[in-house]
Amino acid sequence: MGAAIGWHEVLAWRMRRQFLTGEGASSVEEVVRRLVAVPSWSGDAELAIGVRMRHPHPGSVAAAFAQGRVVKTFAFRGSMNYLAPEDAGVSLALRAAGRQWELKSWREYYRLEPADWPPLRAAVRDALSAGPLSQHELAAVIVRDARFSHLGAAFTDTSCTFLKPFAWQGDLSLGVPRDGALMLQSPTVAAGWSGVVELEEAGPEAVRAYLSAYGPASADHLQYWLGEGLSAGRKRIAGWIARLRGAEIVTVDVEGDELLCLADQVDALATKPGSGSGPAPAAGAVRLLPGLDPWILGAGTADEHIVPPGRRGEFSRGANPVLIDGRVAGTWRIAADRLAVSPFSGARPPAAVETECGRLSEALGREIRFDGA
């Protein structure tokens, strides 16, 4: 490849791919599918998705979930995530690959052997076939079987540890809460749900999906996303990358960093702005994102091209990032419907924050004021 690529171009490309510049997405499910997974453990999911939409409105994520256009389940880092129903089985296959429930510690603690899991999983699927159940309701059904009568506490544990292998194997997902209670349902209620994919098919597809939104990226980034995020296993991940190298994945040099890039994206990435179809570097583009946004989680807080050295801790804890050209340049917060921005440089916040304030107001459904101070 003849054209030189710098980190400015890479971050500009990622911003476009993640709907942070350009027109924005037309639907919640379009955002979720592109980002692969959006954390759902807090209200920040509405904001993370809303700021990426062409016409955001409050409650759009909750509505998409209730209508089955996105699925909520335990996936990345064992936490709750929104996933696209047609793609969820890819991530779940990787998360299930370690077969955690067959470890000695699990067998002894839950008094279940590997041979007990198929009938137990079938019982869970059958119980949820008629509709959503609370943890206690599901437990009440399962313990009627003498083989599983000792599992009541496991099913009702608020940590949900025991429920996760059922989610990873596609037996259950999360439903709309009822009176504040966690609800469990069959993932088949989500439109487009296609089941858990065979691992050797899912692995390469997961690599493609990551690079499509978060690339170009290093092999270490993929290990972080698929290994630390889904416990897919280092050797497996390296094998999937190797399988795709050449035909589908190529290596590009970015200021001395050797990064992996989808082969069909290289030309667009390398095309200079103004020449027709290039990534058009953001040139001062300012975006205000919620804490633990996929922009941060996808690359990891250890990526110094995004998070400045010495600032990792605050963003790992969920500080709201101010992005300038894709790099974290400060933090922001809202108090009494007033936006306060704290640039790392100590300088006055850029004028473009005013525009971002309007975007936040639209996504949150209330007026947020910014006085520039």
Q: Can you give the pLDDT at residue 48? A: 96
Q: Can you give the pLDDT at residue 278? A: 55
Cβ-Cβ contacts under 8 Å for 64 (sequence gap 6 or more)? 27, 28, 29, 70
Q: How large is the average pLDDT for residues 362-373? A: 86
Q: Can you give the pLDDT at residue 210? A: 98
Q: Can you give the pLDDT at residue 347? A: 78
Q: Can you give the pLDDT at residue 169? A: 98
Question: Is 192 strand, coil or helix?
Answer: coil
What is the overall mean pLDDT for the chain? 93
Q: What is the pLDDT of residues 165-222, one digit of tens each?
A: 999 999 999 999 999 999 999 999 999 999 999 999 999 999 999 999 999 999 999 9
Q: What are phi and psi of 260, to 5 degrees?
A: -90, 140
**Among the listed residues 251, 248, 330, the one whose alpha carbon sits nearest the alpha carbon of residue 289:** 330
Q: How large is the average pLDDT for residues 327-355? A: 91
Domain architecture of the chain: domains with CATH: 7-14+197-270 (1.10.10), 65-189 (no CATH), 286-364 (no CATH)
Distance CA 227, CA 238 (A): 10
Q: Can you give the pLDDT at residue 2? A: 44
* Tokens 């980002």, residue located: 35
**Contact (CB, 8 A) for 32 and 49:** yes
User: 98 is written with which tokens?
Assistant: 């370690």
Q: What is the pLDDT of residues 261-276, one digit of tens each?
A: 999 999 988 775 544 5
3 has pLDDT over 60: no
- pLDDT category at 280 given cuts 50, 70, 90 is low
373 has pLDDT over 70: no
Q: Can you give the pLDDT at residue 329? A: 95
**Contact (CB, 8 A) for 367 and 337:** yes
**Contact (CB, 8 A) for 76 and 37:** yes
71 has pLDDT over 70: yes
* Tokens 């047609």, residue located: 86
Q: Other CB atoms closer than 10 Å to residue 310's CB: what's the count? A: 9
Start-end of H helices in 23-145 = 28-35, 44-50, 60-66, 85-96, 104-110, 117-128, 135-142
* Tokens 């795709």, residue located: 244
What is the radius of gyration, based on Cα positions, of the chain? 22
1 has pLDDT over 60: no
317 has pLDDT over 90: yes
Higher pLDDT, 307 or 350: 307
User: 168 is written with which tokens?
Assistant: 């990873």
pTM of the model: 0.94
Angle at 83 between CA 174 and CA 239, to 5 degrees: 120
Question: Is 163 strand, coil or helix?
Answer: coil
